[in-house]
Structure 1
Amino acid sequence: MRRSLAADGAVTLAALGLTLVMLAGGGFGDTTPGARPLDVPGVLLAAATALPLLARRRAPFTVYGVVAVAGLLLDAFGYPYDVPFGPVIAAYGLAVTWSGHPRRSRRLAALLAILAFAPATAVAYALSEHRLQGITPELVFFALLTGGLWLAGDRARLRREQLAVLEERATRTEREAERERRLAAAEERIRIARELHDSAGHAINVILVQAGAARLLHERDPEGSRRAIATVEKVARGTIGEIDRLVRALREDDGSAQFEPADPAALEELVRRHRAGGLRISTDLRGPRAALPRSVAWAAYRILQEALTNAARHGGEGRVDVAVRFDPDAVEITVTNPVGPGGTRPGTGGHGIIGMRERATLLGGVLDVTTTGRTFRLHARLPCGREAT
């Protein structure tokens, strides 16, 4: 706003100064014979052709009318008003503002007012008698000038509107990017919360089993009790490390690569921890250990972890069979275990099964749970394409 006022003030002062210099010097170029010298009325009319320009942005049509009439009066009274600085500036401002007006009547009024300046100047020259000779070139010049002013103003308006559209588009894009960033952050927090639930649930279940085993074996098998306590300590330390990693993920903007090598050792370590917790687990890992998307690697680990936790929590006596197949386009996980009385039934699992299914669905995969007799089977298929990241 201040910049616009400063620009309008500079334009107004320049127009007033040039007009006064022109009138005081008898015109530009050769002195106009018989021209009226600058006097008080001439100064007032010169001011009327320039000072209203301060308001040309707020009332362009009115300002143009005032300065144009003042300029025509200078011509009619015989002043050497060779170049209409004020009317030219006002006409340009009117064209910029009204050439794109939504009301057709205003656009037409602005165009006619600007084009009428040339014939009105001819009438003013006729009233001032001493300027009748050789006025045709000047009138032609004024006619071309007014037409050019309209076109220039219209082009400037179009450019301004295009810039406004581009700025609005950039602002909208920035807002959308910010919204996407917030959504991504929210999804990441949900993912981390799910991982924390899975990891803590698994650890607590193992700790409970081992603590109970240590209590039962304390008298008759001290060595077994010590092993159970060592397992509790190991699981607790691992859980603390896992929580630290998740907290760091909340604080940091992870810009690491999306692809990393699959780590079967992590799955084997997970199985060993559950074996230490009392589960009898057989494993069958097949296929090449190719690079996996990070999201798929984590989902596979969490699904297997939750499946083993459920087997320990709800399963009956018997062996847990774990099969993991690494294919070029997918990872398949199958966990089969007996179901004890009151154990998990298909579709009736708690947050664990729901969370596993959500993980698979988010990656474009599937997760099915079935119960045949007293055998529970979980099967998950996770696509390994880059779209899974």
Structure 2
Amino acid sequence: MAHTGGLGSARTGLLVLAAAAFAALTTEVAPVGLLLEISRSFGVEEARVGVLVSAYAVMVAILAIPVTMATRRLRRKPLLIATLAGFLLCNALTFLAPSFGVLALARILGGATHALFFSICIGYAARLAPPGATGRAMALVSVGVSAGLVLGVPGVSAIGAALGWRWSFVALTALLGVVVALAMFVLPDVPAPRAAGGGDRRRRPALLLVVLANGLTYLGHYVLYTYISSLLVRSGVGPAWVGAALFALGATSLLGIRLAAPHLDRRPRASAAAVPAGMAAGIAVIALAYPALVPVFLAAMLWSLAFGPAASVYQSAAVRTGSAEPETAGAWVVATSNAGIAGGAALGSMVFAQSGITMLAVIAAVLLGASALLTVVGRNSFRDVPAHAGS
């Protein structure tokens, strides 16, 4: 999906970063696909299991900016390996967890690790890239991010359905072991970033609007997506088929990335509006059609198609504002994405327990509609001409 021509010897290291990003994102979203199994295993309500997503994401939202700034002078390779080891430990503890409390602590550890990982990964990719190939390098690493977001849930769900939910985390632990080894022996070292600076302070309101729209999009998405397994089962999908259904939705999201890719730079404002508007439309149909399986699933495909390019849309828009270095702009996107994930999972937990699936869908559609409106209003934040963003 990403063109890698011109990357030369950097391609191998970038592929390692892409694999690391896939493992990191899958670690974050794994409980979504295993919600029902974890709930039954520990005898807790589904809504409480949904809070695992919130606890993880809130750590990222709180820590992303401060840890990015606090570690900017440290060597990149040892720091990256340390974060990958943190993910490995998080998944190993999750597999071994004797109680729901221990499981929650393991997820908090994962969230703290995640807060640092992506700021390092973004800067690492930029420094590995040959001159003039930074965009291609970031695109290649982004394949791992996108694949983790859209295929991580169905992947762990399929393993959980076949072998039990704990084995999903065994598989993630093994994957991270391989990635740690590759990072140690294959990934070249890069210098630490220079001192903070750069960016046009006058453009900071534009960045603020981008990250606000980003946070609203993830908030609306995760209000309902945290409970996607429950939505599918209660609409008539057999428990054994949930993994297959999630794979189909994940493939639809990847198709969305493919369809959107040519337009992200040429029509950034239209792309940024189409993502939340398309998601809102699909979720609104779910609210009207639930629990009828066929229209619910078709609407979920529209929702997934629109969500696919979300990460690319907001990351590129934040950098394009030119208000901060790319790493700093990226850290703000990571922070607000996870604030949205945490808030969506928490809000969804309360609404699901009190009012059920239909109200979750209504609230999600309203939030996504608000994000689309912000994009329409914020003409200066989603510009057609890239701005200089520092280095």
Normalising by the smaller structure, the TM-score range is under 0.3
Give the structure with higher Rg (CA): 1
**Higher helix proportion:** 2
Question: What TM-score comes out, normalization by structure 1 length?
Answer: 0.23
**Higher strand proportion:** 1
The structure showing larger relative contact order (alpha-carbon pairs under 8 Å, at least 6 residues apart) is 2
Question: What TM-score comes out, normalization by structure 2 length?
Answer: 0.23
